[in-house]
Amino acid sequence: MVDRKYIPLLVTIGLFILMFLAGSLRYPGFLSTQVFMNLLIDNAFLLIVAVGMTFVILSGGIDLSVGSMVALTTMLSASLIMQAGWPPAAVIPLVLAVGTSFGWMMGAIIHYFQIQPFIVTLAGMFLARGLCYVISIDTISINHPFYTKMALAKIRLPGGSFISIGVVIALLVVLLAVYLAHYTRFGRNTYAIGGSESSAVLMGLPVARTKMLVYAFSGFCSALGGVVFTFYMLSGYGLHAVGLELDAIAAVVIGGTLLTGGSGYVIGTFFGVLIQGVIQTIITFEGTLSSWWTKMVIGLLLFLFILLQRVFTARTARGRSV
C-alpha cells in the first residue's frame, strides 16, 4: 500500500496522464513528444514562478507579487538593454538581484511586523506593477542579438523533438528545488514552519531567516521566470503576466500542496503546471472553444482539489484521535 502522504501527488500525476491520453484519443497528432515538449516550452516561466510559490505555500504563506515581478523584470530588462544600452551579462544578474531583494524585504516585513503575507505581497504586487509604468507605459520590444538568439534557440532531442533554453532553465530550477526541499535544512525548516510556526520557534529553528529566505527565493524565481518570459516574448510591458500569481497558486494547489502549509512536493507543482498546459493544448486542438474555457476548467479543478485536501486533512485529523 502506498504511503498516505503521497496520495494527493499521485492523484495529480494520474490526472495529468489521463488528460493527456484523453487528448491523444480525441485528436490526431496530439500524442507526440513535441506536443508534450511544447507544454514545457509554453509554460517554462510559469513553472519557475510556481516552484518559488511552492516554497512560500509550504511555509504557510502566499506570494501575490510574483506576476508583477515578472512584468517588472521584463520591463527592466527591456529598458536597460534597449534604452540604456547595457549588456545582458549585467542586466540578467541585476534583475535577479532586484527580484531576490524585493522578496527578501517582503519576507522581513511579514516576519518582523507580524503582518499577513497576503496583505504584504498584495502591496508588493501593486508596487511592482506600478514601477513598470514608471519605466514606460508602452511595450518596449527587444531586438538585442543575445535575446533573439535565446528566443530562437532550439535544443534538439533524440527523436526529433526540441525544447527551448527556458525549458532547460525551468527543469534545472525544479531539480534544484527538489534538492532544496528535501536535502537541506532550509527546505526542512520550511516544512516545519508550515506545519506549526510556533512549534518551530520553540524547537529553536531559525524561523526569521527561513521565512525571509522563502520569500527571497520566490522573488528570485519570479525574476528568473521574468527573464525566461523575456526570452519568450522579446519585449517588456507593464501588462505582461497579469494574473500569473493566480495561475502559479493554482498550479501549486492542483499539484497537491496544502494551502495551510507543511505538506506538498515540488514535483506536484511540476505536474500542476503541466495540467494547466494540457488543458490549454486540448482547447487549442478543439479549435472552436474560446481560451476562457481554460480558466473554467482550471477553476473546476481547483474546487475539486481543495475538496480533496479537505477530505484528506479531515481524515488525518480523525486518524489521530482514534
Q: Please report how close the Cβ of residue 171 comes to another protein at its closest, in angstroms.
A: 20
Residue placing its CB nearer to another protein in the complex, 38 or 190: 190
Residue 191 in contact with another protein, rule: CB under 8 A:
yes
Q: How many whole angstroms separate alpha carbon 168 and alpha carbon 135? A: 30
CB atoms within 10 A of CB 15: 19
Instruction: Look at the alpha carbons of 12, 14, 16, 18 in this order and tell me if their dihedral is positive or negative.
Output: negative
Contact with another protein (CB under 8 A) among 97, 172, 202, 239: 202
Shortest CB 146 distance to another protein, Å: 34
Q: Which residue has the cell 516545519?
A: 192
Half-sphere exposure for 63 (CA within 13 Å, toward CB): 41
Beta bridge partners of 163: 155
Asked if 188 touches another protein (CB under 8 A), the answer is yes
Q: Binding of another protein at residue 141 (CB under 8 A)?
A: no
- Among 32, 141, 148, 184, interactor with another protein by CB under 8 A: 184
How far is it, in rounded angstroms, from Cα 156 to Cα 129? 36
Within 284-313, which residues bind another protein (CB under 8 A)? Answer: none
In the region spanning residues 211 to 270, those forming contacts with another protein, defined by CB under 8 A, are 262-263
Q: Are 59 and 195 within 8 A, CB to CB?
A: no
Residue 57 contacts another protein per CB under 8 A:
no
Site for another protein in 261-280 (CB under 8 A): 262-263
Q: Are 255 and 13 in contact (CB under 8 A)?
A: no
User: 55 vs 237, which CB is nearer to another protein?
Assistant: 55
Among 195, 242, 285, 306, binds another protein (CB under 8 A): 195
199 binds another protein per the rule CB under 8 A: yes
Q: Say if CB 125 and CB 244 are below 8 A apart.
A: no
Return the range that interacts with another protein (CB under 8 A); candidates 6-14, 73-81, 175-183, 294-302: 175-183
**Residue 10 Cβ vs another protein, minimum distance, rounded to whole Å:** 17
DSSP letter string, 23-44 = HHHHSTT-SSHHHHHHHHHHHH
Q: How far apart are CA 43 and CA 228, in angstroms?
A: 10
Would you tell me which residues interact with another protein (CB under 8 A)? 5, 179, 182-185, 188-189, 191-192, 194-196, 198-205, 262-263, 316, 318-322
